[in-house]
Chain A
């Protein structure tokens, strides 16, 4: 069940920080990374670093392709994924069906292409919702500290302690509706409600660092209100690390959606989802393996692309790794 938790957990920046950490190393995004001579911004530095990485370009390209697939699937295939004829069951490749047909006689490739939409929709919207919850909670806990922080941190601890897959099973079993929109909304809601904690911790710690900066004291001295300081001065500093974590989380959410649909409690037919198709293909793998392999490859590459992208960006933004 920890597919989508371990990834995030293993990226915990604290795991990398040990007793031997160099005392003066800037270890926070938003810290100062000024080179002698011409000063460059941290983002500029990161961009120079990123440009030279093939992994960054490969994963960006993959993300772009999948996004295009989700937006305009007709660009990639002329076939209709709902056009299934049982007489074509497990038929080999022909014409528009470059990977042949599945058990129900549907075009395997067309179904995989059209499956991108549900996956990306769930991934992106859950990441967005997660970001909103995490920014709010992390900002309140980090900025106000004291009892607000104490309470919110305990809430984070408790939610973090709930096994994601088990909780998602219990929550989604309550959704009786078979309507596609309601099911997608339910999956998004469940993933966001269970998955915001890691990001909230990241936001909280960067808020705590940012609020000690001189410019925040200066703004406060000039009479800026709490909300103005949070919104204008601290938020921009927490966005970069939050976006990096969310990129990785987006990949994990896509994997989680597919897992739930695979189990039969996430999205349901007639919504086209890679998880459903993998499960269907698995059952008939002895007769024909392509209906299993094709959606599996699409799913794995998409998740991999988002995680690699987030990983590359994080490495570029983390000066400690240089």
Chain B
């Protein structure tokens, strides 16, 4: 187990350097004159140029200079210093204000997923090929196929503007009620996947030998399903939910943008719109790290939950 975790950690470190290097190279390498790019159309005086060259270590040129600046960026990243956005705010401060909102939203989405998705999945798996099963299959197919850029604005229009059941946008300091509709929209995708996963898993485990044994021992069906089948069926679902939580943290770019929720995704959405390069790089770097860590945790969790899986 320790060996597995170590191996996995090593893999993650490699992936971290790989992705950050790519992100960094794409954003900053070979883009012409970076100081002029920063200033836009305005002329840059010699004094300003000298100051910025000093500040961003642009005096070192070539591959050597690139890696020097890259490691500078990594060092700052690891120390939690993400630099400044083009508007002069500390990116760390922007993110610190945004995380709580995003986490709240992700937790709402996750709750919806678990409550509705897993319950309906178990029911559909038990009554395979029933009307309930077939209609959930069709419904989840539709949910999986409809992109968020369609789902989010239409939910906002119908439920928020037309029927006024929910507040259409969240605003600066959103309460639970304002986050409920975006949470459902955000969770609907993972809900559909979780439902399908639970359904297949339950249906498959119901055919397993241990269920036959339990039944022949005379156990009631309720006990077989809730104790024996459920425990084995939820292994893939739990790991999926883990990956999904990582996804939800950073994956809410569209939903947060549409519903005006001041979370991490919204800031990225706005940074793209306003062409704020440093802010985009800062947020993307942090999100990549979150994503990698979430994947690591899930892999380890997987190995703990299911002893048959040890990647040796």
Contact = CB atoms under 8 A, between A and B. Distances in A.
Interface in A278-305: 278-279, 281-282, 285-286, 289, 292-293, 296, 299-300, 303-304
A304 B153 CA distance: 18
Nearest to A282: B153
B168 to A, nearest CB: 9
Contacts of A53: none
Contact of A1 (B193, B200, B253): B253
Contacts of B250: 1, 163, 166
A131 interface: no
B26 A299 contact: no
A15 B200 contact: yes
Contacts of A19: 208, 308
B280 A170 contact: yes
B54 interface: no
B141 A307 contact: yes
B208 A304 contact: no
A265 interface: yes
B26 A259 contact: no
B141 A308 contact: yes
Interface string B136-164: 00000110111111100110110001100
Given A259-B254, A263-B253, A292-B154, A169 B272 contact: yes
Contact of B26 (A7, A165, A170, A286): A170
A1 B148 CA distance: 9
A127 interface: no
A6 B27 contact: no
A318 interface: no
A255 interface: yes
B207 interface: yes
15 contacts: A3-B148, A9-B193, A15-B236, A162-B288, A163-B288, A165-B253, A166-B284, A170-B280, A170-B284, A251-B145, A258-B149, A259-B148, A265-B272, A285-B153, A304-B146
A307 B141 CA distance: 8
B149 A307 contact: no
Nearest to A298: B150
Interface residues of A, number: 51
Contacts of B150: 278, 296, 299-300
Interface string A1-29: 11110110110000110111100000000
A3 to B, nearest CB: 5
Interface in B1-20: 15, 18-19
A259 B149 contact: yes
B292 interface: yes
A37 interface: no
Nearest to A285: B157
Nearest to A176: B31
Contacts of B205: 18, 20
B302 interface: no
Contacts of B146: 300, 303-304
A307 B284 CA distance: 29
Interface string B185-207: 00001100100110011001101
Contacts of A9: 193
A170 B189 contact: no
A278 B149 contact: yes
A20 B272 contact: no
Interface of A: 1-4, 6-7, 9-10, 15-16, 18-21, 158, 161-163, 165-166, 169-171, 173-174, 251, 255, 258-259, 262-265, 275, 278-279, 281-282, 285-286, 289, 292-293, 296, 299-300, 303-304, 307-308, 311
B254 A166 contact: no
A-B interface, 10 closest residue pairs, ranked by CB to CB distance from nearest = A255-B147, A1-B251, A20-B208, A304-B145, A282-B153, A296-B150, A307-B145, A18-B204, A262-B149, A10-B193
Most central of A6, A20, A299 by chain B CB within 10 Å:
A6
B272 A7 contact: no
A1 B189 CA distance: 10
A10 B196 contact: yes
Given A20-B208, A286-B161, A2 B251 contact: yes
A75 to B, nearest CB: 25
Given A166-B250, A169-B280, A307 B153 contact: no
A1 B145 CA distance: 14
Given A161-B295, A170-B27, A303 B147 contact: yes
A304 B142 contact: yes
Contacts of A296: 150, 153-154
A300 B272 contact: no
Contacts of B201: 18
A308 B147 contact: no
B200 A16 contact: yes
B269 interface: yes
B23 interface: yes
A10 B254 CA distance: 21
Contact of B280 (A15, A173, A264, A275): A173
Given A169-B272, A255-B147, A278-B150, A2 B189 contact: yes
A163 B147 contact: no
A6 B272 contact: no
A311 B141 contact: yes
Contacts of A1: 247, 250-251, 253
Given A170-B23, A170-B280, A7 B145 contact: yes
A259 B146 CA distance: 11
A3 B149 CA distance: 10
B155 to A, nearest CB: 11
